[in-house]
Structure 1
Amino acid sequence: MKRSLFFMGLVIVNLNCFAQKQINIELKQKLDTILRTDQGIREFVSSTTTVGRKDTLAKFLNYPRQLLDTNAWVVMRTIDSLNLIKVEEIISKYGYPGKTLVGEPANMTVFFVVQHSGKIPVYYPIIAQAAKDKELPFRYAGMMLDRKLADEKKEQVYGTQVYRSSIKNPKTGKKELFAYVVPIKDPKNVNTRRKEAGFDSTVEENALRLGVVYKAYTLKEIEEILNR
């Protein structure tokens, strides 16, 4: 009898473990859709997106192509606002929906939506915890930390954030675009930190990908340049 009860106990434990590993399909599908809209509108505005691909994206996003051609940035703000409402409801119910609950890449959805919102200070702690728990790749928490610090006019840690500002050329007196990597804390060791965090490129390579030649400015140097 004791042996039978022991066996039944093992079965119950195994069933519970199996249940805990089950993906929430309904939630996953919802997050997949949110992620596609978040990334889709950004792909639409990319200069490298082909005409045919833009037609496909417009159809998926359910916006007239002509409207997107003229007001894509306005549409992006609308999509971002709606997506934020959705993910805040999800967070309030489930906490951070990580890899265990919704699989990949749905586990990245909340990160992207929050990253594109004004609520990074509110949700960064739960995203950092999700990364610590391996429910989200750690580099995403690193990217959000960098954006949080940059928004606070502080040095970033991993060098992921690039800013662009209009400044006056001291020689010509004309306005021109100045693009730069936001100053980094301990820049000499940034690529070591990037590697440890899971980034697959150096700060120099990442900057070039974003159209900027990396230079290790200090906060004071940037302030002086922007206030010319």
Structure 2
Amino acid sequence: MKKALLITSTIMMCLSCCAQQKINIGLKQQLDSILASDQGIREFVDTETSEARKDQLAKALGYSKEELKKKAWSLMNKIDSANFKKVESIVSKYGYPGKSLVGEPANTAVFFVIQHTPSQISKYYPLIEKAGKEGELPFENVAMMLDRKLTGEGKLQIYGTQIYSVQITNPKTGQKEFFEYVMPIEDAKNVNKRRKEAGFKLSVEENAKRFGIIYKAYTPEEIKKITNP
């Protein structure tokens, strides 16, 4: 009996080792670094990020906090460009580096870098979609990229993830102000059902509120009248 238990234990250990060996540690570390820089610079410019957290982010990103405060947006472009070159090379070698290859959250790194490189979304969306359907990437990421792809093409989004801000003249006051809105959605009345199916935890209304926006289901015609009266 003891011998049988020993054999069973040995088999389980071997299976566990094999499972761990599937993760490409070197690639995972590279993607973790890419993800940290992509998200870190964006967290730094978030108005809700505390000064203490900004100190941590500046150190992690390799800049002084003062330098980041002055040049954050230009540095973001620099980081995004450098990250895309790395991602392009990774994808050409491995295809989409998903959960089974690099674990989580490293499997989202390529998604975020491409999402932040709008000119490349149409090219890489099929790869992202395939990764989502195969369970290698959370499907809500696929939904976000689809929405960005569609709105970039002047079409209606599906999941209500894309928000836009444009300066307009208030017709009542004559003053310049920013108009922020959730971009028009296809079949808007069923958007929350689609969001839930895609894996989103927040409704379109709740998501808009995170950005200080009261959600309204605008049509393209209504947006045109507001922005070009």
The gaps in structure 2 that reach 5 residues or longer are: 1-10
Segment of structure 1 superposing worse, 26-35 or 40-49: 40-49
Q: Measure the CA separation in 1 of the matches of 2:95 and 2:123.
A: 13
Aligned residues: 215
Tell me the alpha carbon deviations over residues 88-123 of structure 1, each in whole angstroms, 9 at most, x when there is no partner: 100010010000110000000000011111211111
Matched with 2:89 is 89
Matched with 2:116 is 116
**Cα displacement (A) at 1:64:** 2.2
Q: Measure the CA separation in 2 of the matches of 1:204 and 1:59.
A: 35
**Cα displacement (A) at 1:21:** 6.3
Alpha-carbon distance change, 145 to 21 in structure 1, aligned in 2, over 3 angstroms? farther
**Cα displacement (A) at 1:172:** 1.8
Q: State the Cα RMSD in Å.
A: 1.7
**Cα displacement (A) at 1:20:** 9.5
Q: Contact (CA 8 Å) 1:97, 1:107: kept in 2 or not?
A: yes
Superposition map of 1:136-151 within 5 A: 136-151=137-152
- Percent identity over paired residues: 61
Tell me the alpha carbon deviations over residues 161-203 of structure 1, each in whole angstroms, 9 at most, x when there is no partner: 1100001111222211100000000011111101111111111
Q: Contact (CA 8 Å) 1:41, 1:72: kept in 2 or not?
A: yes
Q: Measure the CA separation in 2 of the matches of 1:177 and 1:89.
A: 39
Q: Measure the CA separation in 2 of the matches of 1:224 and 1:152.
A: 20
Q: Which runs of 4+ in 1 moved over 4 A?
A: none
Q: Measure the CA separation in 2 of the matches of 1:82 and 1:157.
A: 30
Alpha-carbon distance change, 92 to 20 in structure 1, aligned in 2, over 3 angstroms? farther
Under a length normalisation based on structure 1, what TM-score does the superposition of the two structures give? 0.90
Matched with 1:58 is 58
Q: Measure the CA separation in 2 of the matches of 1:198 and 1:55.
A: 33
Segment of structure 1 superposing worse, 139-148 or 43-52: 43-52
Matched with 2:126 is 125
Letter in 2 for 1:60: A
Letter in 2 for 1:42: R
Letter in 2 for 1:151: G
Superposition map of 1:4-23 within 5 A: 18=18, 22-23=22-23
Superposition map of 1:1-228 within 5 A: 18=18, 22-118=22-118, 119-228=120-229
Letter in 2 for 1:24: N
